[in-house]
C-alpha cells in the first residue's frame, strides 16, 4: 500500500522501464487521494501508461517534457505542486551510452547529452520541488542512480560518471535536508529488463524485471530507506571492486565483458 505520506507523487521518465513500472505499482497499491504526476518524452508510451493508471482508479496529471529543459520542468512542477503538494518526487529519467567496441569513443557532445539528462535532468526535477518542500518542512526525494555509481566501468564512462555524480549529490544533501524534514533516498538498481538494458553489450547478471524492481523500490521508499541497492550479490561485488587496487578491478571488469573489445 502507498504510505499515508505519499499521496501526491511525481515520477519522471514514466513512459517506459522502471518509471512506467513504478507508476503502475503506485496506481495498483494506491489509496483514496492518490494523485500521480507522470512525465516522459515519448507521447505515445506516456499516454498508454496514463491510461493504464487511470483504469486502476488513480487520478493522473501528465506532460510530455524533457528533463533537460529547466524552465519547462520548473513551471510544470510548481503548477502541479500548487494544486497537489508533492509528497514524493522520483527523479527517474535517464539515458545510457555504451562503447560497443574498442574504437568507439564518447566525444564531448555524446558525453554531455548523457550527463545533461542523468545528472542535470535530476537537478531540474528535484531542486524546484525541494524549495517548496523546505517551506512545508516535509517531503521525500528519490534519486534513481545505478550500481554503476559504485565503480566506473570502461564500457559506459559518461553513464557511470553521471550516476556517480547523482549519488554523491544525494549523499551530500541528505543530512542538510533532513533538518528541514525532507527525506532523500538514492536508488541503485542493477540490471533491469528495459529497452536501456537491451542495448547493453556486456553480460547482464542477476537481471530483474522492471515490475520486480518497481515493487522493491516501492516497499523500500515506504520504509524510508536512505539507500535502495539491488540485487544484493551484484551490489556486494561492485562494492568489493571499489575496494580493490584499480588495476586488479580493471582486469576483473575486463574479464566480465565490461571492457569494449576490438571487433573481429
Catalytic residues: 159
Distance in angstroms (rounded) separating the CA atoms of residues 196 and 181: 34
Mark out the alpha helices in the chain (DSSP H runs): 17-28, 43-55, 70-83, 108-115, 121-136, 157-178, 195-198, 210-222, 232-243, 246-255
Sorted by sequence, the CB contacts under 8 Å of residue 127 that are 6+ apart come out as none
Cell numbers representing residue 167 in the block: 549519488
Classify residue 25 by burial, with Cβ atoms within 10 Å: 0-12, 13-18, 19+: buried
Distance in angstroms (rounded) separating the CA atoms of residues 232 and 190: 9
Q: What is the DSSP letter of 150?
A: S
Distance in angstroms (rounded) separating the CA atoms of residues 22 and 18: 6
Distance in angstroms (rounded) separating the CA atoms of residues 244 and 202: 21
Name which of 25, 40, 34 is nearest 5 in CA terms. 34
- The helix/strand/coil state of 187 is strand
Cell numbers representing residue 16 in the block: 517506459
Amino acid at each position: 500500500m502507498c504510505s499515508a505520506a505519499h499521496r501526491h507523487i511525481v515520477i519522471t521518465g514514466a513512459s517506459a522501464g522502471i518509471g512506467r513500472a513504478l507508476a503502475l505499482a503506485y496506481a495498483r497499491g494506491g489509496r483514496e487521494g492518490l494523485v500521480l504526476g507522470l512525465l516522459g518524452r515519448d507521447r505515445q508510451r506516456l499516454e498508454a501508461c496514463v491510461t493504464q493508471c487511470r483504469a486502476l482508479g488513480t487520478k493522473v496529471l501528465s506532460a510530455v517534457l524533457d528533463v533537460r529543459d529547466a524552465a519547462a520542468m520548473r513551471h510544470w512542477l510548481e503548477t502541479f505542486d500548487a494544486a497537489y503538494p508533492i509528497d514524493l518526487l522520483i527523479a527517474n529519467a535517464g539515458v545510457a551510452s555504451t562503447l560497443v567496441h574498442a574504437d568507439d569513443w564518447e566525444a564531448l557532445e555524446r558525453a554531455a547529452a548523457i550527463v545533461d539528462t542523468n545528472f542535470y535532468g535530476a537537478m531540474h526535477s528535484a531542486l524546484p520541488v525541494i524549495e517548496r518542500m523546505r517551506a512545508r518542512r516535509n517531503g521525500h526525494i528519490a534519486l534513481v542512480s545505478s550500481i554503476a555509481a559504485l565503480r566506473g566501468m570502461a564500457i559506459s564512462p559518461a553513464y557511470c560518471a553521471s550516476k556517480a555524480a547523482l549519488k554523491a549529490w544525494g549523499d551530500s544533501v541528505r543530512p542538510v535536508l533532513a533538518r528541514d524534514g525532507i527525506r532523500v533516498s538514492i536508488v541503485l538498481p542493477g540490471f533491469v529488463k528495459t529497452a536501456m538494458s537491451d542495448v547493453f553489450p556486456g553480460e547482464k547478471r542477476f537481471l530483474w524485471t522492471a515490475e520486480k524492481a518497481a515493487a522493491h523500490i516501492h516497499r523500500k521508499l515506504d520504509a524510508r530507506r536512505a539507500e535502495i541497492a539491488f540485487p544484493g550479490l551484484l551490489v556486494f561485488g561492485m562494492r568489493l571492486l571499489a575496494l580493490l587496487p584499480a588495476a586488479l578491478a580493471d582486469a576483473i571488469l575486463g574479464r566480465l565483458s565490461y571492457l569494449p573489445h576490438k571487433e573481429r
